[in-house]
Amino acid sequence: MKLWLFGLYGIVSSTAVAGIKAIQKGLSEETGLVSQLPHFKEIEKYSPLSFEEFGGHEIRSLDKNLYTELEKHWEKNRHFDYKILKALKDDLSKIKAKKGTALNCGEGVLQELSPIETLENDGLHLAEIVEKLEKDITDFADENSVAINVASTEPLIPYDEQVHGSLKGFEKAIEEDRKDKISASMIYAYVSLKNRIPYGNFTPSTGSSIPALKELAEKNSVPHCGNDGKTGETLVKTTLAPMFAYRNLKVLGWMGYNILGDLDGKVLAHKSNRESKVRSKDKVIEKTLGYSPYTITEINFFPSLEDNKTAFDFIHYEGFLGTKMKFYFIWDAVDATVAAPLIIDIARFLNFAKKKGVKGVVKELSFFFKSPMDTQNYNTHSQFETLVKWFKGLNP
């Protein structure tokens, strides 16, 4: 199996690749991998953990490699045993990214990653950008390849029915060089699905969620899923909120205050880039409970935390006899450590889905996302049950 990552040199992507290599070499256990639970033991027949090759697109300087970038991340975060990193040096040094696109990625990405190397900076027409990205991924891919978007969060592009509403309109916009209507995540999804490569969107960006790209996935019989990996505070929210519903306790208000550092924090410090992330995190309470309590969701940059993310949540609820009570929790985790195994899981389940003839949006993979496509099920418990049922149904 081959894995292509959009945003290859980021801490999540590089940690995911290092994790796979470490497991393969016996340097680490499989803790954190959902796909290694007993419920899914048959997945090894279709999507073994023995990934063969890694590649991806990146907008950072291309004179680097995966090892040099992960070493920089490690120096800031110390997020796993340094002996593992050194043992993987030769393998990771061979993995290098191709030049990607930052089209409509927002001021956060442009400022915080500057200087960047992108195809549009080379003066290419949108159709030429697509052609170049497509050549990169098709030169790499085979029948056992999956592509995952792990790039920085983009601002939301207003929906345009003529461009986003149909595949014909989307491809016409490419021909007409409508760079104002198409984002990097859309292009990455397009080149993947066009070439029948399963695509997962781990970011809050638009990706394959527009009708035009859903149409393409159906047309080419390729599975895809997203959006926005559910790794931390939102995982707790969608696990805890059902408890209040099950006990018939009324949630009056839910405040979530998030602080984080590293590049993710820098990018999300910019309002336009932060908007889709806040929306993704905030709406899960309403979707899980079935009604809309008062909510506050804040995300702020806290430089010294680096890749640590800390969330402070306050829940005000009403119980028997109208008594008002409170619940607090703090979530503290290294983002890459909780996110990286899910990249591996999503890739394995997408590859499994393709081999089983599944096409279009795989809503049964909602368990992994804050804003899952084509489903209103945000409850972690029932999402997991749905995932198990789907897997067993395809593998009786």
CATH assignment of the domain containing 271:
3.30.360.10
Indicate whether 61 and 202 sit together in one domain. yes
Neighbours of 222 (CB within 10 A): 23
The pLDDT, as a whole number, for residue 278 is 74
Does 212 share its domain with 347?
A: yes
Residues of the chain with pLDDT > 90, as a percent, come to 85
Question: 260 and 244 share a domain?
Answer: yes
Rounded Cα distance, 147 and 5, in Å: 6
- For the ranges 14-23, 105-114, 164-173, 307-316, the lowest mean pLDDT is seen at 105-114
pLDDT in tens, 299-358: 999 999 988 899 999 999 999 999 999 999 999 999 999 999 999 999 999 999 999 999
Amino acid at 353: A
Residue with tokens 């990097």: 184
Domain co-membership, 371 together with 307: no
DSSP of 108-177? HHHHHS-S---SGGGT--HHHHHHHHHHHHHHH--TTEEEEE-PPPPPPPPP-HHHHS-HHHHHHHHHTT
Mean pLDDT of the 55-82 span: 93
Predicted pLDDT of residue 181? 97
Q: Is the pLDDT of residue 5 over 80?
A: yes
State which residues form the domain around 42: 2-229+337-394
Residue with tokens 């992960």: 70
Q: Does the pLDDT at position 272 exceed 90?
A: no
**Number of domain units in the chain:** 2
On whether the CB atoms of residues 253 and 293 are closer than 8 A, the answer is: yes
Same domain, 390 and 276: no
Separation CA 169–CA 176 (nearest Å): 10
Domain end position, chosen among 333, 351, 386? 333
How much is the pLDDT for 261? 86
Residue ending a domain, choose from 318, 333, 348: 333
What pLDDT does 375 receive? 96
Q: What is the mean pLDDT of residues 187-194?
A: 98
Same domain, 190 and 325: no
Q: E-strand spans in the chain?
A: 2-6, 53-58, 98-99, 145-149, 199-201, 223-226, 250-260, 294-301, 308-318, 324-334, 360-361
Please check the confidence at residue 276 and state whether its pLDDT lies above 80: no
- Alpha-carbon distance 267 to 264, whole Å? 5
Confidence of residue 271 (pLDDT cuts 50, 70, 90): confident
Top pLDDT among 280 and 253 is at 253
Do 237 and 200 belong together in one domain? no
Q: Give the lowest-confidence range in 109-118, 122-131, 190-199.
A: 109-118
pLDDT for position 114: 82
Q: What is the pLDDT of residue 334?
A: 93
What does DSSP say about strands 294-301 and 308-318: parallel, antiparallel, or unpaired? unpaired
Return the pLDDT at 266. Answer: 82
- CA 334 remoteness from chain centre: 16
Q: What is the mean pLDDT of the chain?
A: 94
The answer to whether residues 89 and 55 belong to one domain is yes
Does the pLDDT of residue 396 top 90, yes or no? no
Longest CA span, the chain: 67
In this structure, the answer to whether residues 388 and 249 fall within a common structural domain is no
Residues 93 and 181 in one domain: yes
Q: Are residues 190 and 311 in the same domain?
A: no
Where is the domain boundary, 333, 366, 384? 333
Same domain, 170 and 131: yes
Confidence of residue 123 (pLDDT cuts 50, 70, 90): very high
Per-residue pLDDT band for 107 (boundaries 50, 70, 90) equals confident
Tell me what pLDDT residue 279 has.
74
Domain at 149, CATH number: 3.40.50.720
